[in-house]
Amino acid sequence: MKNLALFDFDGTITSQDTFTPFIFHAVLPGRMAVGKVVLSPLILGYRLRLVSASRMRESIVRFGFRGRRAAEIEAAGLEYSRNRLGGVVRANALERIRWHQAHGDCVVVVSASLDVYLSDWCRDIGVELI
């Protein structure tokens, strides 16, 4: 290994956020409707910059997936990774990752996004995930 190359996922490797579309993809519609009401004070606080992004994401995940089996969420993540991430990955970012790999560098994706969809994508292109 020559160097360590770190890449953020959303907005660096991708052209857009991937967390929110995954939530809309994986959270059941009824749970989504209830969540919009229950979490609305938190959402407002986030928009007013009174609530951190990490707290907002944690609350959405906790509420959205409560009561669901891990296998269901993992299957949704795999489907999302395989069918949707390719459409938002920037060609130049993937090219840069490949350049680092060709030079023997260790490439690591560092992200606050969910591993249920990132781990598959990272494994497919041969990079590590934090």
The pLDDT tens digits for 61-77 are 999 999 999 999 999 99
Which pLDDT value is given to residue 2?
A: 87
Dump pLDDT digits (tens) for 8-60: 999 999 999 999 999 999 999 999 999 999 999 999 999 999 999 999 999 99
- CA atoms lying within 13 Å on the CB side of residue 111: 25
pTM of model > 0.85 = yes
Q: How many Å apart are CA 115 and CA 113, to the nearest integer?
A: 7
pLDDT of residue 17: 94
List the one residue out of 82, 87, 92, 94 whose CA is nearest residue 118. 82
- Give mean pLDDT, residues 87-96: 96
Model pLDDT, residue 83: 96
Between CA 49 and CA 9 the distance in angstroms is 22
Domain chopping of the chain, boundaries: 1-16+69-130, 29-67
Q: What is the mean pLDDT of the chain?
A: 95
Q: Report whether pLDDT(1) > 80.
A: no
Query: From residue 91, how far is each of 31, 75, 100 by CA, in Å?
Result: 35, 26, 14
